[in-house]
Amino acid sequence: MYEAKRQRPELDVRVLVDWHRAQRGRIGAAASNTNADWYCRMAQENPGVDVPVYGVPINTREALGVLHFKGFIIDDSVLYSGASLNDVYLHQHDKYRYDRYHLIRNRKMSDIMFEWVTQNIMNGRGVNRLDDVNRPKSPEIKNDIRLFRQELRDAAYHFQGDADNDQLSVTPLVGLGKSSLLNKTIFHLMPCAEQKLTICTPYFNLPAILVRNIIQLLREGKKVEIIVGDKTANDFYIPEDEPFKIIGALPYLYEINLRRFLSRLQYYVNTDQLVVRLWKDDDNTYHLKGMWVDDKWMLITGNNLNPRALASGSGKRHFDPRSTTGACAAARERTGADPRAYHHR
């Protein structure tokens, strides 16, 4: 980014990351040499080249909520993903984290998203540059953060759609809080399934309302397929030959959730109405999120479909009126799920 800006000074480059996460180390590691420290060093090493890195505080503490927007607006295109930008996602070393990347070439949508970010994030109170060593401390902006969060609850994309019911279309969605438009869309898309619902999530920790939707679909005779990461494909998994940390318990808790879910719905597993697939590839990790409803609707999102994620997030809803199997089948193939269904014993 610095090189691109150096070659083309007129280029508008902005980086937005979570305020709290950028100022700590990895979970369980010391907080020395944080991302924010690195941003400051890069700024000092590139004088006269301005690549601002903004810290966005969604809540007063990280445990209460984080900025979970993922993706890139590049000129008239949107590269949308649930992935972060780091060595593991970009497979720079031995291991990779599996995710999906959708390149959407649509000037109107990129303009809409850019304007939303500018108006609601860039100009938001409590948003400060992380590449500045003189940035404020979190307690100093606590009141601004609370007001900023309230303002974001009412912030939505505003646009006039130009697609009709006979066209492939995409709708950008954004949400903060349990009653957001994004959450309502997730809740309402699931019961729309006439034949089959497919869900991808890296962590099996579904909220009760989504479990109820799944059970209702099964009772109506419809099929449900869930593709989830094996506990060893969880980024918090700690191999048995390494020192244990408390965060390493999470993959086992998610596995317990999955076993209880399958025990409760064993009848539908036996009749192949409910299929749960585990993704596993050596010691690599899995990070796919999304939802497919029949062959008409696809929800592309960074939302983990867990209680915390339903408090904040963004997504895109695709509608294909042709009702063909091609688009959805191809998307499912790209998830890379283990073809062996996971049957509870």
181 and 141 housed in the same domain: no
**Cα 9 to chain centroid, rounded:** 32
The Cα 110–Cα 49 span in angstroms is 25
User: Within a domain: residue 124?
Assistant: yes
| DSSP three-state, residue 102 | strand
User: Helix count (H) and strand count (E) of the chain?
Assistant: 9, 16
What digits encode the pLDDT tens for the residues 3-42?
Answer: 999 999 999 999 999 999 999 876 655 556 899 999 999 9
In a shared domain, residues 271 and 173: yes
Length of the chain in residues, anyone? Answer: 345
Tens-place pLDDT, residues 174-208: 888 888 888 889 999 999 999 999 999 999 999 99
Query: Residue 83: which CATH number?
Result: 3.30.870.10
Task: Give the pLDDT confidence score for residue 17 in this predicted structure.
Answer: 94
Domain count of the fold of the chain: 2
pLDDT at 30: 57
Cα(271)–Cα(100) distance, rounded to whole angstroms? 31
What is d(CA 1, CA 139) in angstroms, rounded to the nearest whole number? 31
Are 222 and 313 within one domain?
Answer: yes
Query: 213 to each of 167, 183, 206, 216, 316, how far by Cα in Å?
Result: 28, 13, 11, 5, 21
Domain span including residue 222: 169-340
**Segment 312-322, tens digit of pLDDT:** 555 655 555 54
Give residue 62's pLDDT: 83
